Amino acid sequence: MQAVDSKILEDAGKVLAVHLSYSSRAEQRGRVPANPSYFMKASSSLALSGGTVERPANTELLAFEGEIALIIGKPARRVSVEEAWNYVGQVTASNDLGVYDIKYADKGSNIRSKSGDGFTPIGPALLPASSVNPDALRIRTWVNGEVVQDDTTAGLIFSFARIVADLSQLMTLHPGDVILTGTPAGSSVIVPGDVVEVEVSDEAAGLSTGRLSTTVTQGEAEFASFGNTPKITDQDRIDAFGSEEAAGLAPAVTGKSALTEEVKAKLLSVATATISGALRKRGLNNVSVDGLLATKPGQKVIGTARTLRYVPNREDLFKSHGGGYNAQKRIIDAIGPGEILVMEARGEKGSGTLGDILALRTQVRGAEAIITDGGVRDLSEVAALEIPTFYNGAHPAVLGRKHVPWDTDVTVACGGTTIQPGDIIVADDNGILVIPPALAAEIADEVVEQERQDTFVFEMVKEGNKIEGLFPMNAEWRTRYDAWVAEQPK
């Protein structure tokens, strides 16, 4: 195998990079792109293995991104996806370093934050593209000897061939050009003294690039006052570290953080009517999804909302947004355990919003339920699946008859109420309720107590007692209730 040397760096006319390409990273960021997007790095940022990278003075957020780099082997212009891999000469490891303290000044270009000297080390060995399987490469990153990234190209949203073909549509890719193909989840901040290593391997072929090693040093030269100087927001910290927790910031109350196992158990133990009453006490009267049917009568589900919005079909817009890997398919591929797919279809029953195949995919992904205020195709097959579906009616037509899948993880209207991504949904055949995450814990505590009181009242009525003074309980009945509670098994 050939080693990466200074000539390889000199031959790189362009360094092109993909913003987001791994499913694990997309799930971490909470969005799945429909198509790849790119930015450029200066070729002067390229460096060899074993060197150092400087964290600029007065900055904090230098972050690593272990990636697979493709080296173009022959000129590529308007090549097809099917033939694109033939234009890749070699594969190696890379580290797409960037300093988030100056990212605000790039306005999306990443030109300053990602193009520092040494910000793109590659190597140490080049693997012949013809000898590796691009769909079965493994990418691993270590920081100070600890594995922090470990993924394979099976997790790519966009294949390497698609990326090469896409880039070649508007520019000629020349031999030596470098394409950085995106990073999986696990990227975070590094500090002076840290050693970052990245390795790419084809384990079936017994090939490895070896570990690309870079040591972080502290820069001393400060930014000049005649240009943009470092500036950090909390969002920069979150993006650099990968999460609020890793960044040391107090996480916002979200559905997933609020819906603990204890809260979930309490909410599932009571009737939806009891939850509705607790919401109503807080002035929340418009939090029910109305008019839907359930494929699993008697089954109760709870989860956090992932949302999909359809707009009314317009033929030109369906052509641009309805085909291929559209918003509907992207969110179904991204949904996971503990989540409920909520679809806004404007109450339109004259077309399906999904059928048995996509419902099955939602089930395989581990989602808790599907909720749509539109129609469902293949209703008998959807009803036979394990995943509960709440729907507005059956219809044999595909979604293009009435709908264009438009966007995901946005605020939607479903069944007459507003649902935001991350809202907590409790649903059964008695009703579907939306719980704001910030209220979940207190509502869970209250409804358990309310359910206990309702059980007591029910038993007292069953024994022949009058409603007066019992429902609601006066002081006498309250005393009797407290005694009854004390007698219950703990």
Closest CA to 69 of 49, 41, 95, 92: 92
According to DSSP, the β-strands at 207-208 and 51-55 are: unpaired
pLDDT of residue 253: 67
Handedness of CA 356, 362, 366, 367 (dihedral sign): negative
pLDDT of residue 382: 96
Are 282 and 435 contacting, i.e. CB atoms less than 8 angstroms apart?
no
Our CA angle for 241, 146, 69, nearest 5°, is: 70
Residue-wise pLDDT tens digits, 226-254: 999 999 998 899 999 988 888 888 766 67
pLDDT of residue 132: 96
Grouping H, G, I as helix, E, B as strand and the rest as coil, residue 172 is coil
pLDDT of residue 469: 86
Q: Which two tokens stand for residue 395?
A: 């219809």
Are 409 and 331 contacting, i.e. CB atoms less than 8 angstroms apart?
yes
Q: Which residue has the tokens 């935001």?
A: 420
Superfamily (CATH H level) for 285-435: Ribonuclease E inhibitor RraA/RraA-like (3.50.30.40)
Q: Answer whether CATH 1.10.10.410 is correct for domain 2-241.
A: no
pLDDT of residue 371: 97
Q: Where are the beta strands (DSSP E) in 275-367?
A: 288-289, 293-294, 301-312, 339-344
Residue-wise pLDDT tens digits, 172-214: 999 999 999 999 999 999 999 999 999 999 999 999 999 999 9
Which residues of the chain, if any, have pLDDT below 70?
251-253, 490
Task: Give the C-alpha separation, 282 to 285, whole Å.
Answer: 8
pLDDT of residue 451: 83
According to DSSP, the β-strands at 88-95 and 207-208 are: unpaired
Task: Give the C-alpha separation, 75 to 164, whole Å.
Answer: 11
Are 198 and 128 contacting, i.e. CB atoms less than 8 angstroms apart?
no
| Domain locations along the chain | 2-241, 285-435, 441-487
pLDDT of residue 290: 96
Closest CA to 51 of 214, 197, 218, 216: 214
| 2-241 and 285-435, same CATH topology | no
SS3 of the chain: helix, strand, coil, percent, to 5? 30, 30, 40
pLDDT of residue 324: 85
